[in-house]
Amino acid sequence: MPTQNAIAVISDIHSNLEALTAVLKDLKSQEVTEIVCLGDIVGYAADPQHCLKKIRALGCAVVMGNHDEAACLDDHSVYFNANARAGVVFSAAQLAENDKSWLLSLPHDLMIDGITFLHASLDSPEDWNYILSEEDAEAHFFYQSTQLAFCGHTHDPLLWVSRSPQSLPSKFTGEGILSLPGSGKTLVNVGSVGQPRDGDNRACYVIYRPDQNSVEYRRVIYPIEITRQKILKAELPFFTADRLLRGR
């Protein structure tokens, strides 16, 4: 049975309308009381404006992602490879000016009820650092003032745990229902709704249940081929379309 006081945390939608629609349908079945979006609503796929409209309609808390920011800048080429740049340029052309103003108004991080929500790392948030190693996680935890935080950015569902400042953080695969530590600091990477990269091509998001002190990683099937064909029709890179099948 779904429990009360459940918070859905979604991230890295990347203009994948079919994945976002499937996730929003799934989380309704879980009777969540709150939704938080960790950014990168746009980029890569072919439905940036529709995805942004859905997120804005939720009225939920949202933080900025690096693709969100880049789609609003005059120079879309900053720190992106060719495939990512193509998605950003496409998103920029599709978004209205009020959409861009809204995206640029978003914060890099939020604290809600003693929990930190962010897209990338608290270590120089404006630089969009990736948390890929124990050293990256250690740099982030230095700035994390809350016991619990949620992030996205790498598209890889993981749990980082810092038991003490004297030891490097530990990494755990994010799958199923995981009990959270009762001490130290924890960073939950919620994976990606629209472009998973952990080898599982299903959309991924997390439900946090404070009353159980647990997170549940949920994987949701969506019609990938529809999204792929939209990407190809928009003349976006074949690689962007193909990786959705591989989940890489």
CA distances from residue 61 to 96, 176, 188, 189, 233 in whole angstroms, order as listed: 21, 25, 17, 17, 32
What's the pLDDT at 97? 94
CB 117 within 8 A of CB 109: yes
State the average pLDDT over residues 128-146: 96
The mean of the pLDDT values for the chain is 94
Among residues of the chain, what percentage have pLDDT more than 70? 97
The structural domains of the chain, with segments of one domain joined by +, span 7-246
State the average pLDDT over residues 197-212: 96
Per-residue pLDDT tens for 54-91? 999 999 999 999 999 999 988 756 678 999 999 999 99
Compute φ and ψ for 28, nearest 5 degrees. -65, -35
Q: Which pair of structure tokens corresponds to residue 158?
A: 């993981």
Pairing of strands 34-37, 61-62: parallel
State the average pLDDT over residues 156-165: 92
- What's the rounded Cα separation, in Å, for the pair 6 and 35? 9
What's the pLDDT at 5? 83
Among residues of the chain, what percentage have pLDDT more than 90? 90
State the average pLDDT over residues 189-209: 97
What's the pLDDT at 17? 98
| Whether the predicted pLDDT of 171 surpasses 70 | yes
State the average pLDDT over residues 196-208: 97
**Which class would CATH give 7-246?**
alpha beta
Q: Pick the residue with more confidence: 78 or 233?
A: 233
Per-residue pLDDT tens for 97-131? 999 999 999 999 999 999 999 999 999 999 999 99
What's the pLDDT at 3? 46
Q: How confident is the model at residue 1 (pLDDT cuts 50, 70, 90)?
A: very low
What's the pLDDT at 201? 97
Q: How confident is the model at residue 160 (pLDDT cuts 50, 70, 90)?
A: very high
What's the pLDDT at 79? 73
